Every structure is written in C-alpha cells, then in structure tokens.
A and B are shown apart, each in its own frame.
Chain A
Amino acid sequence: MIDNVALHARSADTTGATHSGRDALLRVENLSIRFDGAPPDVNVVDDVTLSVAKGKTLCLVGESGCGKSVTALSLMGLLPTPPARIVGGSAYFGGKDLFRMSEREKADMRGNQTAMIFQEPMTSLNPVFTVGDQIVEGILRHRKVSKSEARERALEMLRRVRIPAPEKRMQAYPHEMSGGMRQRIMIAMALANGPELLIADEPTTALDVTIQAQIISLIRQLQDESGMAMILITHDLGVVAEIADEVAVMYAGKIVEAGSVDKIFMDPQHPYTIGLMGSVPSIGRRQGKLATIRGTVPPAELMPKGCRFMPRCPFADVRCVTDPPPLAEITPGHSARCWYAPLEIHRGGVA
C-alpha cells in the first residue's frame, strides 16, 4: 500500500557548513594520486580537497574515468599500491590520519567505522560463499556477538534493503541473484555495523526507481538516527538533487566546481557543469537529439598544461591553454575552477 509519510524529504541544506571543513568528520586535503607508468606530471587524482560532516551527504559527480572511484578507494586504504601511489595530500577521519595507519588499523576500521559500497558488486562478493555467510562474517569480525545474533542482524539488514524471502536468500550464492539483488547485498553488508562514514560508489545503478527510492529513504533514516556521514558517487543527477547537501564536480582528476546542492543545480558556474546539466534527458516528451559536451577527455600524454577542460570548452582562449585556473570562491561556499567564472561577467557580451 502507499504510505505518504515514509520518505521524509529533507529540504536542501544551504548553509554550506560542511564545505568549510571545520567540524568535518572526514577531511581530505590536496590529495594527489598517480599510476606507475603514466606521464610524470599527470596525476589521475590531482589536488582534491573535500570534507564531509556528521550526518551530511557529499555527492561526487563527474565524467566517467575522472578519478571518483580511485579517490574513494584511497580513502578506504584499498588502492593497490603499486601501481597506484599517493603522491601528495592528507586525509583525516575523526582526527586520525588515514594515510599513516598500519594495515591492521585500516582493517579494523573498514567495515566498522567506515564502510564502502563498491561500484561493481561481483568484484567484491565471494562467489564460493553464500551471501548470508558473507554478511554474518562481516558482523562477527567487528562485533562481540553470538553467531545467532549476527544471523539475526544479517536477516534484519536483508529485510531492510527489501530482499524478498530473506531467510531463503541467505543461502543463495551471488551468481543466483539478479544484478540489483547483489547490489542490495553489498548495501546490507556495508550498513550492518552502523558505520560513521559510508562511501557509496554508484550504489543504485542496478535498482529500479521504486527500490532506489526505498534505499535512499533507508540511508536517510540511518543518517538521522545515527549521524552517519556519506560520500555518494553517482552520475544520476536526480539522486543527487534528492539527497545531497554538498556536491563536488570532478573532471579529469580535479575538482572543477563545489558547493551546496542548490548552487550546483540552480547556479552552475563551471562550463563542464553547465554542459553536464544540459545532457540530462528530460522525463517529458522527446525534444530531438540529446545535447552533449563535444569531444572526449584527452589521453594523459596530451593533457593540456592549462585548464584540463580547455579542448572541449566553448569559452576557452589562450590563457586557458597555458595557465591552470585555481579553484576560486565565487560566493561563500561555492567555488569553480575556471578563469572566466562568473561567465556573464567575463563572457557575457557576445563580442
């Protein structure tokens, strides 16, 4: 039956409090990561600064391949090093330096204070164990509970992510489940220990919109109850509009725009963000071909010295070719990495 109050929509937070990073639960500063074998001066993640406060949601959006998953994996201590290398920057979680922890400390924290939902469920589910055993195992690892209590908790989580017939499904193997069920198993595992920080990498791509709405509502409820903070990586701008407090837009390894969700959607400043907003298909009647951003990201060897978006940007000129623009504040809590933002002022007159 339809229940109208089940999803308590929170209005968008416009205070920008999380952006300042002062009372942040997670604070990442000037993070740079490269892969061995890539050209020396081109990092896949370059000078990324972001933060997220207790109970808040930061959404990370951006072009496929721009470094969102690599950023997330580095924070969880799951990046294979080598070939990856953290070449600069710091990350603090509740005062602890994430990049200086021992393997042991990292393992204790993962799946307990912090949890991650991976982009491709099959890469992180073990094909030879039942999904029930895998969730129970995750609980027993970090909680002093009996096996049957852990099983109860696992069942409860499967119910909350709306897996049908959860008792039966506990005994199923990952390959016996549909894409969206595997994704929900991952979500259940990540939420089972009540993490303080959840990093969710495209958690709802395989879910239909009704289940997606239920999962979003569940996550929000947990945020309200326990103050869980979340970094959500998604390209679904509908989901971003619904759940984000803050948004960071990435392009080719750099943050090109950051601000409150209202600012990013209602007043986007960076040419890439504007192009992105223009590519969203409308839910109304079809209006001809979809608008796209011309061209593709250049290969690392050909990455421009100046602005990385330059080859595809309608507003670019000589300065963009040679000088990398800084991430500059436009209004308090809203910044963009473009020489010509705000565009009306610098590019308004059609000369």
Chain B
Amino acid sequence: MSETTSDVILESIDLVKHFGSSGFFGPPTVVHAVDGVSLTIRRGETFAIVGESGCGKSTLGRLLLRLIEPTQGDVLYEGRSILSLDAAEMRRLRRDLQIIFQDPFASLNPRMNVGDIISEPLWLHGLGSKSDRREQTAELLRTVGLLPAHADRYPHEFSGGQRQRIGIARALAGNPKLIIGDEPVSALDVSIQAQIVNLLEDLKERYGLTLVVVAHDLAVIRHMSDRVAVMYLGEIVELSSTDDLFENPLHPYTQALLTAIPIPNPQGRRPKPLLQGDVPSPTAPPSGCRFHTRCPHARSICKENHPVAENAGGGRMVACHFWREIQNAGSGALSAPAQSPALTKRMELYMTWRERQEQTKNSNG
C-alpha cells in the first residue's frame, strides 16, 4: 500500500490473538480468533469489517483499542505502538479512541443511571464542570433520539434499541478521534438507524472523525463506508473500496455473502443458494485456504497452499488462488426488484406534504 504515514490514523501489523482453554475434557484447545491481520485505517474514513459470525471481528476491534492484549503483532496509533504505552499514556489515549460494544446490555453498568454512564468519559478525563457535564449529557441524549429526562433512569428500564443508543451517546461524549462501532445500529429500526447513520456522517464531516464499523447489515455498510474488509476465520480475505466490492466481489466468500442479502420486497422471494459444507472450527482451521471446505470453486491446490493476499488493482486486495478466473461469479445478485407503483406514488405524496409542512412552519416562525 502506498499511503503516506500522515494519512494513516491506526494500523495493525500482523495481529494475532489466540484464546486457550484449560482442556478439562481432553487436550487443551486453542481458538485462532484473529490470525495475522494487517490493515491501515485512514484518517476521516469509514472502514467496515464484515464476515461470518465468530470469524474474529469483535476480537479484532478489541485488539485495535488494546482492550485485550494480542498474542503477537502490533498496533500503531498515529505511528506509535500502543502496546508500549504505560497506564497513564493509555488513559489519555482512551479519550481519543472509543468503542460502541456489540451487546449493549452487558456493557452498561446496571447500577449506574444513564446520565452517569454517558458522562463517565467526561469526568474520567476531568472535562468540564458538573453543570457543563449535565448539559452535555442532555444534549447527547437528544442527539441520539432520547430525552434529557432519561438521564435519571437505569439501563433495565430501556428497550434494546434505546440501550444501544445510550452506548452510542457515551462513545461520543469525550469527542473522540476514532470510534469503533461493533454492530452500532443492529438493534435499531430503520428510521432511527438512518438518523444515527446521518449523525455519524455529520460528525465525520465536522470533526474529521474516523469510524471503524463492524456490521452485518450490508445495505448499511454499502451506504456509509468508504472501504470494506471481509474476514473469514480470523483472516482478511478481501479488502476493497465499497463500490468495487459490491459491484464486483472477487473472493468466493464475499460472493456468497452478497447473494445471501435478504431483499426488502416480498415479490422478490426466490430460492437462495446456501453456503453448504461444515462450518470449520477456529480451533482447527482447515489447511491451505481456510475457505476451501465450503468453496464452490475449490481445487486440490486450495487444500494445500495458503493463498497469499494479492494486489488486485485499485487498492484492492484478495486472498484466493483463482480470483482472476471466478470474477463475477456472484455478482448480478444485487438487482433489487423495483418499488411498487403504489409505494412510489405514496412516497411522493409523503415528500410533497412534508415540504409543504416545512414551508408553513418556516413562514410562521
């Protein structure tokens, strides 16, 4: 890759994380959660990580912020290794780097009220007076579509999506430079999801915020991210700009992923090809290409040789022996059926009335 170091805000070098287990019932097993991941995240971009459940996305996110220690490899923030920082330096860094956790309930302290949860990053770093903090908390609550009065309530009194928004508000509190969102909008209905996505985009434009998003909703990924990394069993198998990836997926796993996207149109129901084959275990990753046990294009070499990441042009990278031959094998799946005429007509009516309402509001106020 050819980025100059000043573009790069966060970089991982050959990161590895293995989880060991005690092995009560036999020989100890090692989970290869993340295996040799190198990537660079550019300042101000939205970088998405997608991949099969259990492939190591959350683990990678935690490694990038040093919430857990890697087995091997390094993480550079602004060109400096964060693994060598002492506790005080690490605390300072925590303000710049925030995370929105995947499981909102498990990550919110049940004994703290929402106001204290959200303002925690502020008082931890001694930012603002008490009343400043209260005001800022109220503002953050409003920003994520909750109410200032919610500050006095406790996490269990909220719905799943409301709890997720509390986590988002907390991550925004210390004006971070980079946020890792682990499924940040997964529990939100599409209209609130759209508000949050728009909000994050505004923050990016205004403050140059960098976002790393782990998500399963590929339409959201397509809409909001600049680049996408596709992971399979602890490794990155494809990395590409968003439009290229969706228009011409190169890796067979990426192709399988795109064909499985559910289309929001009941008339588009049709038999879907399903990925077959046993889901391999991260405790015993397959030899050669880790995807070979399920790949429709696999040949004997795939079982033996581990494909190296190749440069596929245009800043793309792919790790497959046969990517040149199998291009386009999965594309064309993304043609969403057209909106019904009734819905189109009603959307138009909706927008017309909305504009009109806007105008009357403006002329009255």
Please report A residues at the B interface, Cβ cutoff 8 Å. 1-12, 61-65, 68-69, 119-123, 162-165, 168, 171-172, 176-181, 183-184, 202, 205-214, 216-217, 235-242, 244, 261-262, 265-268, 271, 274-286, 289-294, 296, 299, 314-315, 343-344, 347-348, 350
Contact = CB atoms under 8 A, between A and B. Distances in A.
Interface string B100-117: 001111100000000000
B38 to A, nearest CB: 22
Contact of A241 (B31, B183, B263, B350): B263
Chain A interface, >50% SS class: loop
8 contacts: A64-B188, A168-B29, A206-B186, A207-B53, A208-B53, A274-B343, A284-B222, A315-B353
A296 B195 CA distance: 10
B161 interface: yes
Interface in B261-275: 261-275
Given A279-B191, A283-B336, A208 B50 contact: yes
B331 interface: no
Given A64-B161, A242-B262, A266-B340, 7 more contacts: A123-B105, A181-B53, A205-B216, A209-B260, A266-B343, A277-B343, A350-B352
B260 A178 contact: no
Contacts of A244: 266
Contacts of B346: 268, 274, 343-344
A7 B271 contact: yes
B159 A69 contact: yes
A289 B24 CA distance: 53
A164 B279 CA distance: 5
Interface string B335-365: 0100010110111011011101100000000
A314 B53 contact: no
Interface of B: 19, 21, 24-25, 29, 31, 50-54, 58, 102-106, 145-147, 149, 158-162, 165, 183, 186-195, 197-198, 201, 216-220, 222-223, 243, 246, 256-257, 260-284, 294, 296, 334, 336, 340, 342-343, 345-347, 349-350, 352-354, 356-357
A241 B265 contact: yes
Contacts of A209: 216, 218, 257, 260-262
A319 B103 CA distance: 42
* Pairs of residues from A and B, 3 with the lowest C-beta to C-beta distance, nearest first: A180-B53, A64-B161, A238-B262
Contacts of A162: 279
A81 to B, nearest CB: 15
Contacts of B270: 9
Contacts of B159: 64-65, 68-69
B105 A120 contact: yes
A127 to B, nearest CB: 10
Contact of A119 (B160, B266, B277, B336): B160
A299 B147 contact: yes
Contacts of B340: 265-267
A205 B190 contact: no
B242 to A, nearest CB: 8
Contact of A347 (B223, B279, B280, B349): B349
Contacts of B52: 208, 210-211
Contact of A6 (B162, B262, B276): B276
B364 to A, nearest CB: 15
A11 to B, nearest CB: 6
